[in-house]
Amino acid sequence: MGTENAIPLEKEGAREQNDKLILSALETLRDPTKRAKLKLKCTVPAVCKLTKLSTNTIRSRSWAVAALKDMKAAAKRKATEVEAGETVPPAVSLVDALRGRVALLLEQNSLLFDEILLLREQVKARELRIEELQGKRLAAI
């Protein structure tokens, strides 16, 4: 009797694991750079390749098939916009993003260096003041 209840729990656990794999594959396919890098299209076989699950496992999830259709439709709309001559917002290239980040870091580095120099001057002034006070105290003794 105990094994009868265990089987549905195992199947449910496997189903949840498969759902997680499918969701992960769909996220990968939603990202155009990852999709291009893997040379995949928004299709059920692409999800099968990413998850190593069968096509029937993918097709049995209507939400996964619907998500793939939405991704295909979005890609098709984008392609027709490009063909129609509409401007597509330019994506910031990785090199430009890195250059901007380096420029920002160099500016921050410069500000921090200026602050260090200022603090060093303050420390020197305080050390001189301490030496003066110690000299006066020793002279008074």
Q: The whole model's pTM is what?
A: 0.50
Q: What is the mean pLDDT of residues 20-41?
A: 84
- pLDDT at residue number 7: 55
pLDDT of 1 strictly over 60:
no
Q: What is the pLDDT of residue 120?
A: 97
Q: What is the mean pLDDT of the chain?
A: 84
Give one DSSP letter per residue of the chain, joined into a string.
Answer: -HHHHHHHHHHHHHHHHHHHHHHHHHHHHHSHHHHHHHT--SSHHHHHHHH---HHHHHT-HHHHHHHHHHHHHHHHHHHHHHHTPPPPPPPPHHHHHHHHHHHHHHHHHHHHHHHHHHHHHHHHHHHHHHHHHHHHHHH-
